[in-house]
Amino acid sequence: MTDVRLDRRRLIAVGGCALASGMAGLVLPVRATGLAPTPSMAGGANNYRPGAPIVERIGGGGFWMTGTVRRAGDGAPLAGQRIQIWAHTTEGYESDQRSHGATLTDANGVFRLEMPQIVPAFGQPHGHLAYDGGTYRTVFLRPVMPSSKDKRLEAHFVLEPV
């Protein structure tokens, strides 16, 4: 059996530590760091075409590019934001104009655009997305698919004001 006695010195030391750590939360305000902005990805801007048209679908479809757009800090969904999408697909190269299109986010900050199946380029099946609306900092993304057989790819933007 261990003899645990609190002499005055231990009581003051333990009490002082408890008081100091407990008081820190009361004296210093809690600061939320918020949602950090999405950085642009290397290679994301490859074959970018400014001003790609808003379309219902790119090509014949069969594959879905989806995602969300939120505001940095509070994470609020951003409605009406233009997201451009392009990729190397079964119907064309990512540099082809017909492989580019844009869509707008809905009231919940969600976007969806149907396009042809993405196929590997440089050994990786990947898509390209861009926010370039001007209100927020431009962001380019280049997400890679786990498998070239996947029928959808998600990408999420967190935007900060310019």
Residue 122's pLDDT band (boundaries 50, 70, 90)? Answer: confident
Helix (H) or strand (E) holding 87: strand 82-87
- pLDDT at position 137 is 97
pTM over 0.95: no
Residues 6+ apart with CB under 8 A from 113: 55, 57, 58, 64, 65, 66, 83, 85, 101, 102, 103
138, pLDDT greater than 80: yes
| 10: number of Cβ within 10 Å | 11
88, pLDDT greater than 70: yes
- Which of the 8 DSSP states describes residue 14? H
Residue 23's pLDDT band (boundaries 50, 70, 90)? Answer: very low
Residues 6+ apart with CB under 8 A from 130: 44, 45, 48, 83, 84, 138, 139, 140, 141
| 146/57 Cα distance (integer angstroms) | 23
For the chain, the first-to-last Cα distance in angstroms comes to: 66
